[in-house]
Amino acid sequence: MSDTAFIEIRNAAKSFGAFEVLKDINLTVDRGQIVAIIGPSGSGKSTLLRAINELDPLTSGEVWLEGVQINRKLPHRQYEKHVNQVRQDIGMVFQHFNLFPHLTVRGNITLAPKMLKGLSTDEANKLAEEQLAKVGLSEKIDEYPSRLSGGQKQRVAIARALAMRPKVMLFDEATSALDPELVEEVNLVMKQLAEEHMTMIIVTHEMDFAASVCDRVLFMDQGVVVEEGPPEVIFQSPENERTRNFLRKHLARANGQA
Amino acid sequence: MGLDFSVVPSYFGVLLLGAGWTIAITIGAGLLSFFGGIVFAVAALYGHWTIRLPMRLFGWLFMGTPLLLQLFLIYFGLIQVGIDLPAFVAGVIGLGLHFAVYNSELIQASILAVDKGQYEGARTLGLSRGQTLRRIVIPQAVQAVIPPMGNNMIALLKDSALVSVIGVMELTLASQQAISRTYRPFEFYLTAAAIYYVINLGLEAALRRIERRIQASR
Ligand SMILES: Nc1ncnc2c1ncn2[C@@H]1O[C@H](COP(=O)(O)OP(=O)(O)OP(=O)(O)O)[C@@H](O)[C@H]1O
Ligand SMILES: [Mg+2]
């Protein structure tokens, strides 16, 4: 492992049956770095992200976070304990929020800190208030998720992840399921996290957003990282033909929609 | 011979006591069928095969044979192997397990219908499989089947009359006693029917309240 690497993915490969979704992917992310992953549908972006917290374990290769190998081969019981532990350090935000509908916003945020970190109810409530204030939803603390807009749900989901004080945040198309007018409020929260130097890996279809907050952009296609670099290079003068094609098509589609 | 309800009031005490036992059996067996249903559902879905197999046989026994027979088996049958349960306890267990099997079917289907995003949301936070089941999946699965489980509870109330056969002095048996003294079956059975109806209304009101509270979170 290199000295500065905070997250390191080495020779990552993943197959579903005979179908190779990820092929020998290498990626290092430094502390505080913000990396965007872009690429066509089915290129393996979600699978790579989900490999980082063992939701979709790799077929081969290694994933390291701060000197700890996440996908260690361990006997079943020890493995379960290990992943439950390391997942506490990895926040993840999903396209469809995955809030718990039977719990209030407060319940959603306090559940894991109380269960896993032994916070008292008072401590957990304070934490929930803090995190909600951060995403601008203090007044929704006692609402059920069903009463929130999509943008509000996603901000609660972010607050819930942040309440575990993760070392890194993973976003899998956090704004893709939102009505266009609700995208900005979620982007703002993510930008704020960027300013606080949260380490983030962001799978996104929003090129403008990626260009404005990310330090690096990875373009994936058919299970490989085709090209990576700073956003100005990837978006303005990509070297690879496939990257250029993807961006051209993407731009055409985005303009077509507008 | 016309109807003559004038004999009924002097047996009100007996009938109300019977109604009390009916309510007690319904609550006891209802709770057993609720929690038993959850336990059976989890065991059926996630248990080791050494648990699942006997569970299947047990489920078949309770769904495929008459409740009446099950009550005889638990009350009279178990005495033979040295387990002498009071009739009330035997009735609660028989009725409770019988409906637990039905509730378990509902809850199993409901657990399987919980969105996989719920598991991912919970596991990503660091919750274990068991914690995810207990705190996220089962509460949602149970909430979703409260209405059909409510129907089972109403069926349970009505089937509680069967417990009279093992001598629990519940409403049906209490009416029979009154009848054996007065030879007024029509009057007492009608009165008992009216009391069952009132208890049923109470149960339905309670179920509606629970449903409304859950709806508030939807
Ligand atoms: N559990 C699975 N079983 C089988 N195939 C899968 C599974 N999950 C993903 N795949 C396949 O792996 C490929 C990559 O999927 P992945 O979800 O990582 O793509 P993606 O880049 O995130 O796409 P999108 O932009 O549509 O979200 C797809 O072809 C998908 O069908
Ligand atoms: Mg995806």
CB–CB of B92/B25 below 8 Å?
yes
The Cα A137–Cα A142 span in angstroms is 11
Mean pLDDT of the A214-232 span? 95
Q: Is the C-beta atom of A14 inside 6 A of ligand 1?
A: no
CA of residue B25 to ligand 1 center, whole Å: 53
Among B121, B129, B140, select the one facing A102 at the smallest CB separation: B140
CB–CB of A214/A229 below 8 Å?
no
Flag if B125 and A98 touch (Cβ within 8 Å).
no
Q: What is the mean pLDDT of chain A?
A: 93
Residue B196's pLDDT is 96
DSSP letter assigned to residue B65: S
Please state, in angstroms and as integers, the Cα–Cα distance from residue A92 to each residue in A31, A223, B132, following that order.
17, 21, 16
Return per-residue pLDDT of chain B as tens, 218 residues.
Answer: 688 888 888 889 999 999 999 999 999 999 999 999 999 999 999 999 999 998 889 889 899 999 999 999 999 999 999 999 999 999 999 999 999 999 999 999 999 999 999 999 999 999 999 999 999 999 999 999 999 999 999 999 999 999 999 999 999 999 999 999 999 999 999 999 999 999 999 999 999 999 988 877 66
* Ligand minimally distant from the alpha carbon of residue A218: 1
CB–CB of A98/A90 below 8 Å?
no
Confidence band (pLDDT; 50, 70, 90) for A86? very high
Q: Does A35 touch chain B (CB under 8 A)?
A: no
| pTM, to two decimals | 0.90
The Cα B206–Cα B75 span in angstroms is 31
Residue B87's pLDDT is 95
Q: Does B215 touch chain A (CB under 8 A)?
A: no
Q: Which residues of A touch B126 (CB under 8 A)?
A: 84-85, 87-88, 112, 116, 164
The Cα A119–Cα A122 span in angstroms is 8
Mean pLDDT of the A123-135 span? 96
Residue B3's pLDDT is 84
Q: Which residues of A touch B218 (CB under 8 A)?
A: 101, 144, 146
Residues in CB range of A156: below 8 A, 6 or more apart: A97, A99, A105, A108, A109, A132, A135, A137, A140, A145, A148
The Cα A137–Cα B172 span in angstroms is 57
Residue B218's pLDDT is 65
Q: Which DSSP string corresponds to A38-96? A: E--TTSSHHHHHHHHTTSS--SEEEEEETTEETT----HHHHHHHHHHHHTTEEEE-TT
Tokens of A150: 């999509």
Q: Is the pLDDT of residue A258 over 60?
A: no
Q: Is the pLDDT of residue A2 over 70?
A: no
The Cα A203–Cα A184 span in angstroms is 16
Q: Does A164 touch chain B (CB under 8 A)?
A: yes
Minimum CA distance residue for ligand 1 atom 24: A41
What are residue A22's DSSP bridge partners?
A14
Q: What is the pLDDT of residues B43-87, one digit of tens each?
A: 999 999 999 998 889 889 899 999 999 999 999 999 999 999 999
Residue A37's pLDDT is 97
Confidence band (pLDDT; 50, 70, 90) for A3? low
Q: What is the pLDDT of residues A43-66, one digit of tens each?
A: 999 999 999 999 999 999 999 999
CA of residue A201 to ligand 2 center, whole Å: 13
Tokens of A158: 């972010």
DSSP letter assigned to residue A52: H
The Cα B145–Cα B37 span in angstroms is 11
Q: Does A100 touch chain B (CB under 8 A)?
A: yes
Flag if A146 and B123 touch (Cβ within 8 Å).
no
Q: Is the C-beta atom of A45 inside 6 A of ligand 1?
A: yes
Largest distance between two CA atoms of chain A = 56
- Based on its alpha-carbon atoms, the radius of gyration of chain A, rounded to whole angstroms, reads 18
Gap from A87 CA to chain B (nearest CA, Å): 5
Flag if A53 and B124 touch (Cβ within 8 Å).
yes
Query: Domains of chain B, with CATH numbers?
Result: 5-217 (1.10.3720.10)
Query: Which of A15, A22, A45 maximizes ligand 1 atoms within 8 Å of its Cβ, making it the mutation to test the pocket?
Result: A45
Gap from A186 CA to chain B (nearest CA, Å): 18
Q: First and final CA of chain A: distance in angstroms?
A: 45
Gap from A238 CA to chain B (nearest CA, Å): 34
The Cα B203–Cα A4 span in angstroms is 65
The Cα A28–Cα A5 span in angstroms is 6
Q: Which residues of A touch B111 (CB under 8 A)?
A: none
The Cα A166–Cα A90 span in angstroms is 5
Altogether, the residues listed in chain B come to a count of: 218
Q: Which residues of A touch B215 (CB under 8 A)?
A: none
CA of residue A64 to ligand 2 center, whole Å: 22
Lowest-pLDDT range of A212-216, A217-221, A253-257, B32-36: A253-257
Gap from B98 CA to chain A (nearest CA, Å): 29
Q: Which residues of B touch A85 (CB under 8 A)?
A: 126
Q: Is the pLDDT of residue A225 over 80?
A: yes
Confidence band (pLDDT; 50, 70, 90) for A5? confident
* Ligand minimally distant from the alpha carbon of residue A94: 2
DSSP letter assigned to residue A16: E
Confidence band (pLDDT; 50, 70, 90) for A33? very high
Residues in CB range of A44: below 8 A, 6 or more apart: A14, A21, A22, A220, A222, A223
Q: How many Cα atoms within 13 Å fall on the side-chain side of residue B87?
A: 13
